[in-house]
Amino acid sequence: MPIRYDDDARTLALSVRDLLEEGAPTGHLVVEIAQTRAARLAAGRAAHVEHQDEQTDRDAAYRAEVRLKHQIAVGDWTVVLHGRADGVTEEDGRTVVEEIKSTALDADQLHGTKLSDWPGYVGQLELYLWILHQAQVDLPVGRLVLVSLLDGSKHVIGVPLDAERTGRFVAARLAEITAARDRRIAWMRWRREAKVPIPHDRWRRGQREISEAVLWGLQIGHQILVEAPTGLGKTAAVLHGVLQYALARDLQVFWATARTTQQDGVERTVARFAAAGLAVRTVVMASREKSCLNTVVACRPDACRFARDYYDKLRERDLVHTLVESRRTSRQDLRTAGTDAEVCPFELSLDASEHVDLVVGDYNYAFDPGVYLRRHFGEDAGRWIVVVDEAHQLVDRAREYGSPRILAADANRAAEFLWADPDYRAFAELAEEIAGLVERTARAADGARRDGAVVCTLPKKELASFVLRLDAVAMDYALLRARRPLAGVGERDPW
């Protein structure tokens, strides 16, 4: 659950996890390439519950899923910090808090790990201990229970309470979070009071009507389709209407484009608004590939220095806020900032996009079911207005999104490559089965052809079963990567 703010009452409620992760987290940037999703989650949950059941059977004092809460004053904010410990019990007169985590390491690897290898989990546990300590529980101790999903082995590491250090950490993080919120409140106030100027000396013919129609459509919740000749100034007129609505209601605008040249046009229009007195915060998102400063797109701390310590570098310079508040978020600005601070410009644009009035980016970031920005268009999509530039282009894109293609030749090539390594057997089998399904379906098709290809529909049931299999293979992949990390930048990743 995200942090819950009540700005008028100056209160906020956040979980221990929020405290650890909100704003710039710490450490490296790691872009996950394997989505283990359901299979990984289910396996982790099962290991978790199994351990709790065992503990409950052998220890009458053991309580699972114990809620913890502590209230703190930070400046004029009242903060409620809450969490849920996996297990709490009493041993030798002391309170013991358990945190259970599943891992893809086997017994040997797992037992070779120590506290410093699990900073995130330890941080969580230390916070639980600190909350209990604030509630006058005398010297509670922590127990990090690591369960291997490979062989079921367990490794238990003790975590001591360090009330002073944890207290300092809590105070520093809450000071950052409340300061960021105060900055946001000031930004929202500025937005609500902002007057949106006409970005030219005077309206051109038709522009005022477009701006008014856009504003009216937003006010009554209608989609508006604007069609006007090239050169009329549609971008300025639409932006004028959209900004009036968005700024007054704490909403952000995503300007979705099909081509980079459209993005350049929006940037020029934003500059005109700035010259007329309204400097909106804008970020233009280039693709990961175009933004990349590394020799090869390999978003891992061991392969890219711009991913290494990414979050720590952001935090040290307060980089995101410095850039957005100074309006230095053009593509070139982000590249320059990325080069100077040695951080990834693409990730920087993503992080900056949370703090700007206008985000300009490709259709894919809003509409592609595979790559849309979940941080914006997931659960919290209601805070965005999406403008679709050259909307007629979206039709073909949408067809592509809704018509994924599987080529038997690609699947066969993948299988051939994967069979060469015994570790990839499960992947090779899946690739072969996919190729087989495509070939069988094509042979059984009634002969309709388009552009030399057989037109047929793949059986939905079998496709659905492949999705589940893919999920399971993704889990295998995560386990394999844990056992055998990629050696370096040059090593090909079959995923």
CB of 484 to ligand SF4, least distance (A): 21
Closest separation between CB of residue 298 and ligand SF4, Å?
5
How far is 363 from 258, CA to CA, in rounded Å?
Answer: 6
- Interaction with ligand SF4 in 420-479: which residues (CB under 6 A)? none
Question: CB 294 → ligand SF4: shortest distance, Å?
Answer: 4
Residues 11-50 close enough to bind ligand SF4 by CB under 6 A: 29
- Phi and psi based region of residue 9 (left: phi greater than 0; alpha: psi -120 to 50; beta: remaining): alpha
Q: Which of 271, 276, 279, 297 binds ligand SF4 (CB under 6 A)?
A: 297
Of residues 152 and 488, the one with the C-beta less far from ligand SF4? 488
Q: Answer yes or no whether residue 311 interacts with ligand SF4 by CB under 6 A.
A: no
Cα dihedral sign for 346, 349, 353, 357?
negative
Nearer to ligand SF4, 191 or 335 (CB): 335
CA atoms within 13 A on the CB side of 306: 24
Q: Chain centroid to CA 298: how far?
A: 18
Nearer to ligand SF4, 16 or 307 (CB): 307
Given 304, 323, 334, 373, the residue binding ligand SF4 (CB under 6 A)? 304
Q: Which of 26, 56, 287, 294 binds ligand SF4 (CB under 6 A)?
A: 294
| Given 253, 319, 344, 418, the residue binding ligand SF4 (CB under 6 A) | 344
Shortest approach of ligand SF4 to residue 353 CB, angstroms? 15
Residues 253-292 that bind ligand SF4 (CB under 6 A): 288, 292
Q: Which amino acid is at 219?
A: Q
Residue 132 C-alpha from the chain's centroid: 31
**CA–CA distance, 168 with 464 (Å, rounded to integer):** 50
Q: What are phi and psi of 158, to 5 degrees?
A: -75, 140
Please report whether residue 307 would count as binding ligand SF4 according to CB under 6 A.
yes
Closest residue (Cβ) to ligand SF4? Answer: 344
User: What single-letter DSSP state applies at residue 453?
Assistant: E
How many CB atoms are closer than 10 A to CB 485? 11
What ranges in 59-154 are assigned the alpha helix state H? 107-111, 119-134
Q: Shortest Cβ distance from residue 19 to ligand SF4 (Å)?
A: 26
* # binding residues, ligand SF4 (CB under 6 A): 13
Contact with ligand SF4 (CB under 6 A) among 88, 144, 298, 387: 298
CA geometry: angle 415, 416, 419, nearest 5 deg: 80
Distance of closest approach, residue 270 Cβ to ligand SF4, in angstroms: 25
Contact 135, 71 (CB under 8 A): no
| Nearest-5° Cα angle at 244, 387 to 349 | 50
Give 428's DSSP letter.
H
Tokens of residue 261, six digits: 């040249």
Classify residue 488 by burial, with Cβ atoms within 10 Å: 0-12, 13-18, 19+. Answer: exposed
Q: Which of 77, 245, 273, 346 is close enough to bind ligand SF4 by CB under 6 A? A: 346
Q: How far is the CB of 33 from ligand SF4 (least distance, A)?
A: 11
Residues that bind ligand SF4 (CB under 6 A): 29, 288, 292-294, 297-299, 304, 306-307, 344, 346
